[in-house]
Structure 1
Amino acid sequence: MARKDWLTGKGPLSGNSRSHALNATRKKWNLNLQKVKVTDDSGKTYTIKVSARTLRTLKKEERANA
């Protein structure tokens, strides 16, 4: 499961990079994956890969629940 967000399932995007002359070359936009340790309700700790956007959301929810 390379280059995929573990929680949201989002993967890399692909498309064309366009030059000034409108030449098209294939381009790939990878996620900004971060390793993070998450503890579930039973107290078990997991190391998962999530995108930076998902990590922000996790921290936001953590502040709201605290």
Structure 2
Amino acid sequence: LLSGEDAGPLRQTTETLARCFPSRTNVEAHTDLPLTGFTLASASPEQDEAYDRRVIEFFNRTLR
């Protein structure tokens, strides 16, 4: 589950949702992203690149 500070109340919702899964499941929650879809459009190219890299690495690791 991915979220960040600029997600407002959705960040807390993401953290709450992560706790709903049974402990035996492998659920990762990253709620410390510096950007989310809310502010990505106004991000600098460097911020955009850092966000993309982190999300791509997350999905690459998770889907293997």
Q: Counting strand residues as a fraction of each chain, which structure ranks higher? A: 1
**Higher RCO (C-alpha 8 Å, min separation 6):** 2
Structure number with greater Rg is 1
- TM normalised by structure 1 equals 0.29
